[in-house]
Amino acid sequence: MERAIQLAIESVRSRQGGPFGAVIVKDGGILAEGVNQVTGTNDPTAHAEVLAIRQACRTLGLFELKRCELYTSCEPCPMCLGAIYWTRLSRVYYASFAADASKVGFDDSFIYREIAQPKTQREIPMIQIIWSVFSRSRLDVGSIPKSSSVKSTLSSGESLRILRQSITTTATGWRRRNGANLR
């Protein structure tokens, strides 16, 4: 934890990002480190936790970080929390609460409120569009509809069945090749 806090202080001094640092530990040793680089890189996803996760995954050559722990200077935001769950970190330790960060201008509580809203009532509405063609070779990016009123030549149920079948086939093939479980 001491290293995560030290990284957060260094981040503030360098003016490359916010006051956040993160360290990923495996078997008692530091595997990866990250500091917030949002403002220095103009990348809103360059949070300390995400950067540490990316580095740890590259180092291990894996997209899962089982048996690894994250030490972070602040309670993770919703984006970082999602990355933590996707990588299957075994434990997270944090120094300060999200409410502490909120007091100094790093407030992510609105994201939690947005997630709880129905998709169509969010500040950025989420609109599902079902394409009638799922073939990569036939999908023309320029033809993606700009309106949610576009009708599919397949029924919604048929389109969803095809999409689910595609996802299942892809996941099954991955499991066979890697001998792993996706969830």
Active site residues: 49
**How far is CA 4 from each of CA 1, 10, 20, 183, rounded to the nearest angstrom?**
5, 10, 8, 29
| Nearest one of 28, 99, 101, 33 to 68, comparing CA atoms | 28
User: CA 55 to CA 46: how far, in whole Å?
Assistant: 12
H/E stretch holding 113 reads helix 109-116
Cross-strand pairs, 30? 25
Helix (H), strand (E), coil (C) string for 92-103: EEEEECHHHHHH
